[in-house]
Amino acid sequence: MIVVVSFLVLLMLVAAVAASVFRDLISAVIAAALVSLIASILFYLLQAPDVAMAEAAIGAALTAAIFIIAIRRTKRYEE
């Protein structure tokens, strides 16, 4: 059990560092959505099903969608 949790936390931190390093903004947004998804799994393992449902619906889906719509109206590559 502890092995699974530490693997998930490690993957979450690697995805957060990747969101900081990528120059293509759409890849950075997808890395941030992966952080939200793994946080939703950790919320479920901490016995909080309401919060897990809210984070999965709002953080992983709607946040990524409005980011991609806003990036499409401005530049795509960080200079």
Q: Smallest distance, Å, CB 29 to another protein?
A: 7
SS3 77: strand
Binding site for another protein (CB under 8 A): 2, 5-6, 9, 12-13, 16-17, 19-20, 25, 28-29, 32, 35-36, 39, 42-43, 46-51, 53-55, 57-59, 61-63, 65-67, 69-71, 73-75, 78-79
Give the tokens for residue 9: 């936390």
- For residue 26, the minimal CB distance to another protein (Å) is 10
